[in-house]
Structure 1
Amino acid sequence: MRDHSTGRRGFEGVLMAVAATFLTVSATSAIAQTSPKSASDLAIDAAVPVPQPVDLPPPSIGDFKPESVAVPATPPAAAKTESSTEAAKTDTPAKTDSAAAPSAAPAPTAAAPEAAPAATATAPVAEPAKEPAKQQATKDQAAEPQKAASNVPAADQGVADKLRETIATKASKYFDRKAERAAVEKFYEARDYAPVWTNAGALTSAGKGVIARLKDAASDGLDPTDYPVPDFAAATTPDALAEAELRLTESMMDYARQAQSGRMHWSQVSADIQYPEHPIDPVEVLANVTTAKDASAALDSYNPPHKLYQELKKKLAELRGEGDNPAAKIADGETLKYVPARKKQAAVTMDDSRVPQLRAKLGVTANADSTTYDADVADAVRKFQRSADLKPTGVLDDRTVKAMNTPKRDRTIDTILVNMERWRWLPRQLGAPAIGNAYVILNIPDYTLKLMHNGAPVWTTRVVVGKPGKHATPLLTETMKYITVNPTWNVPPSIINNEYLPALAQDPTVLDRMGLKLERNRDGTVHISQPPGEANALGRIRFNFPNKFLVYQHDTPDKNLFGRDERAFSHGCMRVQNPDQYAAALLNITMPEKDYTPAKIRSMYGRTEVDLKFPTPIPVNITYQTAFVDDHGKLELRKDIYGRDAAMLALLRNDKGKNLEAVVAHAQPSYARAKMPPGVNVAGDYTGSTQSSGFNFFERLFGGPPAPPAPEYRRQQRFTH
């Protein structure tokens, strides 16, 4: 038989404990209500609301009437009052609850039974009514500053509304580049979509400046038709003004991008070109142009700042008759002609006051002040007619005069245009700021190399460059990190596969007779090298600027080629005429305290490689300038030996309207495991062996011991790199 007394006693103990707790809490509440609260108590009350005690009789059936369904409208009202009070007195949050109590007092009696259970339950029951009110108040507070900051004039509000709608739904119609579209969206959103190019329908100074720059795009070698300017005068409605606003922003962005990076991407011209990318920052463009005092100058600043570019721009203006000293126009007049002398008839000439001006325009220096239309003038007119696709009669007629007075679109102008375009590919900062903006610039068609320091050339030399075709010297910008004295020549894969392996198939002893070492790498590729020495194909010095084309500058044992006017004979690398002087000049810029001289460099010649590392690398810029202005202000033109000008002109003329800025991926040649000709002995054949040096071809060229060697090659028995 069970004893239930123990369980009953335990249950009674629990009831007594609960009752004691209830009395303690009640006493504490009473004391809290009668005694003043400290600051910490007030903070706690604000953080954890305590329900107000309600002394009401138990609810009866009569309290539950149909009209009580309207009661829930009361709490939101109270919550709203509480929120407004809380916002007005944020420094005393404890007063919020007390302020809410009077608002609940006038509530109908029928609402009291509803409040009693809520008060006697737990505090979180009341929270759902408070929290939405607080969130709504926060939203209202966040929205108020944005609304207050809006400065859209009433006259522009219609345009702003249309801009908001268009940007939200059709932004990609104007800006197909994601970064530019996002920048435009944020720009106009920050302005409350107020237009920037117009004010009350009239063009602003910024709008006028941008339009002026776009219309003058031809002066920078660009095409104004690529940047259409909307007709703001015809835009008389908010819809039309919003459309014109976005069209001008679109043209401005296109101009800035192409002025800075070019109308075409260099990869479309050739696979052997690689310059660092320097795209515009759309956010910066919008901020810069729209806030500048001179919007035209701000937009113009995206064109190359280089001196040689600016000089080409001046020459372009002169050729078009738009320079500081524009070519004078030939006035209309009677037809002038020259009839040479015959057996029974003397030469027939004509006199005209326009002839001296004609002589000056056509470059006839003999008898510069003569007004006689003689044989010299007629020959010059005939030459001009040929260049202008006119019948070469030598007669100055109305058609010839008109052609002379029309801006020239001849080969010289085209050459200048493509050279200005190539300047856009180059980095804006050519040199290293830490060492006086020092840099090397090599012009392939001019076969010259210059070392620049503090804005002036400090050393110049002749160079031999790559042959046209597959051996063309690439265009690139890299940094020269060190010089190697007594370099080892590591023959590049292209030479091995295209020249040496076929030669080995004919004569297995050819490499031994040439002093070359043949071995197979662990990955199966063939490696051919030539040790340092006087007969080395790289000469005594190699100038290293690691690049994906595996080209560099170096000495050569074949000095006779420097005497030729055209010097495109190498496999891609650049041979320097006086490498000891070049090395000393470079080292004195990077390490002036060492006091290097050509003699000191030559004293290092031997059979052991010596690396001279630069504390600060020097940028090397390989360029292709078929048109440039010399130190005397004369326009110099060079032969387009690689056909770069022709390729660019074809793109500009034939691909009109296409995306000329797209990067074209070019596959690089892959030299897999080469098949060794039969009968050839391979020293150190590492096929299937672990006895390899561990360095692959790229490590041998540009890094890791042994000293980074770079590629080159020669043909036949004489090493011609």
Structure 2
Amino acid sequence: MRDDSNGRRGFDRVLIAVAATFVTLSAGSALAQSAPERSPSDLAIDAAVPMPEPANLPPPSIGDFKIDTPDTTASVTPATAVEAPKLDAAATSAPAAAPEPAAPAASATAPAVEPAKDAIAKEIAKDSLSGEPAKQQAAEPSAEPAKTASAVAPADQPVADKLRELLGAKSSRYFDRKGERAAVEKFYTARDFAPLWTQAGAATPVVGSVAARLKDAAADGLNPADYPQPDFAAATSPEALAEAELKFTASVLDYARQAQSGRMHWSQVSGDIQYPEHPIDPAEVLANVTTAKDPSAALASYNPPHKMYRQLKAKLAELRGQGDGPGAIQIADGPTLKYTAARKKQAAVEVDDPRVPQLRAKLGISENPDSTRYDAKVAEAVRKFQDGADLKETGVLDERTVKALNSPKSDRQIDTVIVNMERWRWLPRELGAPALGDAYVILNIPDYTLKVMQHGAQVWTTRVVVGKPGNHATPLLTETMKYITVNPTWNVPPSIIYNEYLPALQQDPGVLDRMGLKLVRNRDGSIHISQPPGERNALGRIRFNFPNKFLVYQHDTPDKNLFSRDARAFSHGCMRVQNPDQYAATLLSIAMPNERYTPEKIRGMYGKSEIDLKFATPIPVNLTYQTAFVDDAGKLQVRKDIYGRDAAMLAILRNPKGKDLENVVAHAQPSYARPRADIPQGVAFNDGAGNAEPSFFERLFGAPSAPPPANRRPQRNVFTR
């Protein structure tokens, strides 16, 4: 027999709990009204008696609470608990409050509602027959947030699933470099592996634009075969489309990386090259190319932006017979043309020929462009062309020379242009200092010239002497010039001490003294040789300092006769400047324009004490190796490969076994240790300075923590303006 009294008692407890809840809510509203204060018992009775809503809703039942439903109890908030019974105590006892003050009131009563909610849950959870609490059915909140809608179109989801699979297990098949592989995986993960190059199984218009750029890679001196392109039209399955997607992505990244940094790393060519790295960001490349208005141009923008590079690119097209410049001009066959210089009893012989105007245009001779006379200037231009084309330098226009001039693929010149374009990729994208109007120094070793540039134009130029081929070759680098030293001390490099001065001392112990050099043996057994400032100093009157690991710099020289020679590779690696006072004044006028430095002012500082003129903003110095460049007249100039850099680079590019040409080669770092050696008897020493003596690197470029002793070097005046 069923005992209805137990069920009645259970329902009574529910009503009591509901009353307690509404007592708490209505109390706040009642306090805000001007109505008379009511007792708690009155409020409990009012709350226990269901009042219909304006819509005449029936009173709440036990089913309205749904406390036994897991999802409801797991997500109930204080506000939800109030809404569940759908009763508003404030509506029955007072007019509705304004929306603005209502929000803080609800927040303030939230802690009081929470215990009431728990009471309701406990009462309803009791079993009506046994009166014992039932097992709690509410589930804990889910640890994972609800998934948002996928960004992948339904038609692309099968391809996205395959991309997820391939990148997770076989990404090394498409991307050899670990860093690039990780970047690509992160890029596709961020887009839920949605394909980048296809939509609904068909290639996007971006693919056509990018593919055209990859096919035309040879125009920038690159190899189109390095960037294979998959056939998207032949890919009919999701797996084939996913594979084509990754192959195309790999080709795009390979092009961008090689266009920006080079097909080979500069360390593979020689150990005396050091340029700053500027690798690509794979995610940035993919985003840039796929969102640009012109994807082909966006990809091409990773090639060097320098004017000199663009000029070489135009000349490369001409040499291949693809341009409209002088390279596309054809010289007709005809008789041999020869110029005979004037002699004592014979005038110069200039042959007249209708082909000469075309010859002048092709060789870039701007003087008398319409003249048909094969004069001395034309003959000299032919001779220079023959030198660059590996022909006998006669200055005579013969059949072989005409054939070489007309060849659409002058292999040697094309190769020379390509390797020079490659070297431009190693250089920084910004050669100059932005704070100084993009000012910089650029020195071309094979051309033996130095130029100061600012605002994209040449400010000043001079001749230089560079290092001898072999161990004394001038390195290729980019550094910043920080100061100029007037009246420098020459600290003899360790290599010269070992290889030249110590052997000379064995034969003649007094040779250093006659040269004005000072020999010091330190307490640790090392030796140091230096030459004080003066007219006889090997560095002349000025030294230009841009600290670097190769210990080279630019300086004056007392031997001016070498500047008159065409080939000027005679130094031990440093660069001798023909007009150092003008060079210093030019740099100082850029770095410190308010100081009004002039060559005369610089020369007025000459003396026997070192003077450092420090730049407030360092000026970049770029040591380059341009065996091919375009001059101001628009003519391609080719110089002798004095260090064999071109040959080394061509050998690397032509090596069929070379797969990863961008790999870095580790080279031994130079040592700045003080040399130790046995000095022959009879050699005079100057006083040593002890073990605190700075290294050669510190002597050369300064060591603030260990300044040279006063008795070792002349007093140094420092100007920091």
Shorter-chain TM-score above 0.5: yes
Instruction: Find the counterpart in structure 1 of residue 697 from structure 2.
Output: 698
- Shift of residue 253 of structure 1? 0.7
Determine helix, strand or coil for the equivalent of 1:233: coil
Letter of the 1:98 partner, please give it.
Answer: K
- Shift of residue 232 of structure 1? 1.3
Letter of the 1:82 partner, please give it.
Answer: T
Alignment of 1:244-643 (within 5 A): 244-324=244-324, 407-408=408-409, 410-643=411-644
Q: Deviations over 1:36-75 (max 9, x none)?
A: 447999xxxxxxxxxxxxxxxxxxxxxxxxxxxxxxxxx9
**Contact residue 504 and residue 680 of structure 1 kept, 8 A:** no
Equivalent-residue separation in structure 2 for 1:525 and 1:649 (angstroms): 43
Equivalent-residue separation in structure 2 for 1:648 and 1:466 (angstroms): 20
Letter of the 2:207 partner, please give it.
Answer: G
- Shift of residue 451 of structure 1? 0.5
Determine helix, strand or coil for the equivalent of 2:538: coil
Q: Which consecutive unaligned segments of at least 5 residues does structure 1 have?
A: 1-28, 42-74, 119-125, 341-354, 370-375, 389-393, 710-721
Letter of the 1:223 partner, please give it.
Answer: N
Determine helix, strand or coil for the equivalent of 2:170: helix
Equivalent-residue separation in structure 2 for 1:161 and 1:100 (angstroms): 50
Equivalent-residue separation in structure 1 for 2:579 and 2:585 (angstroms): 10
Letter of the 1:79 partner, please give it.
Answer: P
Go from structure 1 to structure 2 and tell me whether the alpha carbon gap of 1:182 and 1:36 turns closer, same or farther (over 3 Å shift).
Answer: farther
Provide the identity percentage: 65
Determine helix, strand or coil for the equivalent of 1:465: strand
1:243 lines up with 2:250 in the alignment? no
Q: Deviations over 1:464-514 (max 9, x none)?
A: 000011000000100000000000000001101111111111111111111
Greater shift, 671-680 or 229-238, is seen at: 671-680
- Shift of residue 668 of structure 1? 3.5
Equivalent-residue separation in structure 2 for 1:39 and 1:555 (angstroms): 96
**Contact residue 438 and residue 452 of structure 1 kept, 8 A:** yes
**Contact residue 17 and residue 120 of structure 2 kept, 8 A:** no
- Shift of residue 336 of structure 1? 9.3
Instruction: Find the counterpart in structure 2 of residue 203 from structure 1.
Output: 203
Instruction: Find the counterpart in structure 1 of residue 11 from structure 2.
Output: none
Equivalent-residue separation in structure 1 for 2:230 and 2:556 (angstroms): 58
Equivalent-residue separation in structure 2 for 1:604 and 1:644 (angstroms): 40
Instruction: Find the counterpart in structure 1 of residue 685 from structure 2.
Output: 683
- Shift of residue 186 of structure 1? 2.1
Equivalent-residue separation in structure 1 for 2:449 and 2:130 (angstroms): 98
Go from structure 1 to structure 2 and tell me whether the alpha carbon gap of 1:694 and 1:82 turns closer, same or farther (over 3 Å shift).
Answer: same
1:172 lines up with 2:158 in the alignment? no
Equivalent-residue separation in structure 1 for 2:119 and 2:406 (angstroms): 88
Determine helix, strand or coil for the equivalent of 2:616: strand
Letter of the 1:135 partner, please give it.
Answer: S
Q: Deviations over 1:339-373 (max 9, x none)?
A: 99xxxxxxxxxxxxxx999989987999999xxxx
Equivalent-residue separation in structure 2 for 1:462 and 1:336 (angstroms): 40
Instruction: Find the counterpart in structure 1 of residue 181 from structure 2.
Output: 181
Q: Deviations over 1:94-135 (max 9, x none)?
A: 56983995699478668863x37x8xxxxxxx7xx86x6213
**Contact residue 542 and residue 554 of structure 1 kept, 8 A:** yes
- Scaled by the length of structure 2, the TM-score of the pair is 0.73
- Shift of residue 33 of structure 1? 4.0
Greater shift, 216-225 or 321-330, is seen at: 321-330
- Shift of residue 176 of structure 1? 2.5
Letter of the 1:290 partner, please give it.
Answer: T
- Shift of residue 85 of structure 1? 3.8
1:98 lines up with 2:98 in the alignment? no
Letter of the 2:117 partner, please give it.
Answer: S
User: Hey, which of these two has a bigger chunk of helix by percent?
Assistant: 1
Go from structure 1 to structure 2 and tell me whether the alpha carbon gap of 1:517 and 1:339 turns closer, same or farther (over 3 Å shift).
Answer: closer
Q: Deviations over 1:648-693 (max 9, x none)?
A: 000000155421111111114546652223305463565xxx8455
Letter of the 1:633 partner, please give it.
Answer: G
**Contact residue 179 and residue 282 of structure 1 kept, 8 A:** no
Letter of the 1:664 partner, please give it.
Answer: V
Equivalent-residue separation in structure 2 for 1:229 and 1:704 (angstroms): 55
Equivalent-residue separation in structure 1 for 2:27 and 2:517 (angstroms): 90
Equivalent-residue separation in structure 1 for 2:330 and 2:463 (angstroms): 43
Equivalent-residue separation in structure 2 for 1:545 and 1:412 (angstroms): 34
Determine helix, strand or coil for the equivalent of 2:212: helix
**Contact residue 329 and residue 362 of structure 2 kept, 8 A:** no
Equivalent-residue separation in structure 1 for 2:26 and 2:632 (angstroms): 82
Equivalent-residue separation in structure 1 for 2:67 and 2:447 (angstroms): 84
Equivalent-residue separation in structure 2 for 1:551 and 1:685 (angstroms): 27
Instruction: Find the counterpart in structure 2 of residue 221 from structure 1.
Output: 221
Go from structure 1 to structure 2 and tell me whether the alpha carbon gap of 1:708 and 1:246 turns closer, same or farther (over 3 Å shift).
Answer: farther
**Contact residue 257 and residue 280 of structure 2 kept, 8 A:** yes
Equivalent-residue separation in structure 2 for 1:234 and 1:439 (angstroms): 52
What RMSD over aligned residues (CA atoms) do the two structures have, in Å?
4.1
Determine helix, strand or coil for the equivalent of 1:651: helix
Instruction: Find the counterpart in structure 2 of residue 72 from structure 1.
Output: none
Instruction: Find the counterpart in structure 1 of residue 717 from structure 2.
Output: none
Instruction: Find the counterpart in structure 2 of residue 133 from structure 1.
Output: 140
**Contact residue 86 and residue 96 of structure 1 kept, 8 A:** no
Greater shift, 505-514 or 32-41, is seen at: 32-41
**Contact residue 329 and residue 358 of structure 2 kept, 8 A:** no
- Shift of residue 292 of structure 1? 1.2
Go from structure 1 to structure 2 and tell me whether the alpha carbon gap of 1:612 and 1:81 turns closer, same or farther (over 3 Å shift).
Answer: same
Go from structure 1 to structure 2 and tell me whether the alpha carbon gap of 1:479 and 1:35 turns closer, same or farther (over 3 Å shift).
Answer: same
Q: How many residues end up aligned between the 2 structures?
A: 591
Alignment of 1:50-129 (within 5 A): 78-86=69-77, 89=80, 94=113, 98=117, 105=124, 113=132, 115=133
**Contact residue 163 and residue 242 of structure 1 kept, 8 A:** yes
**Contact residue 524 and residue 691 of structure 2 kept, 8 A:** no
**Contact residue 230 and residue 248 of structure 2 kept, 8 A:** yes
- Shift of residue 207 of structure 1? 1.7
**Contact residue 82 and residue 100 of structure 1 kept, 8 A:** no
- Shift of residue 300 of structure 1? 0.8
Go from structure 1 to structure 2 and tell me whether the alpha carbon gap of 1:156 and 1:99 turns closer, same or farther (over 3 Å shift).
Answer: farther
Letter of the 2:566 partner, please give it.
Answer: D
Letter of the 2:72 partner, please give it.
Answer: T
Determine helix, strand or coil for the equivalent of 1:674: coil
- Shift of residue 281 of structure 1? 1.6
Go from structure 1 to structure 2 and tell me whether the alpha carbon gap of 1:471 and 1:85 turns closer, same or farther (over 3 Å shift).
Answer: same
Determine helix, strand or coil for the equivalent of 1:184: helix
**Contact residue 359 and residue 368 of structure 1 kept, 8 A:** no
Determine helix, strand or coil for the equivalent of 1:550: coil
**Contact residue 363 and residue 635 of structure 2 kept, 8 A:** no
Equivalent-residue separation in structure 2 for 1:195 and 1:221 (angstroms): 31
- Shift of residue 170 of structure 1? 1.5
Go from structure 1 to structure 2 and tell me whether the alpha carbon gap of 1:358 and 1:622 turns closer, same or farther (over 3 Å shift).
Answer: closer
**Contact residue 520 and residue 682 of structure 1 kept, 8 A:** no
Equivalent-residue separation in structure 1 for 2:319 and 2:289 (angstroms): 30
Letter of the 1:577 partner, please give it.
Answer: Q
1:666 lines up with 2:657 in the alignment? no
Q: Which consecutive unaligned segments of at least 5 residues does structure 2 have?
A: 1-15, 29-65, 82-106, 338-354, 373-378, 392-397, 710-721
Equivalent-residue separation in structure 2 for 1:111 and 1:419 (angstroms): 95
Go from structure 1 to structure 2 and tell me whether the alpha carbon gap of 1:222 and 1:680 turns closer, same or farther (over 3 Å shift).
Answer: farther
Equivalent-residue separation in structure 2 for 1:427 and 1:708 (angstroms): 35
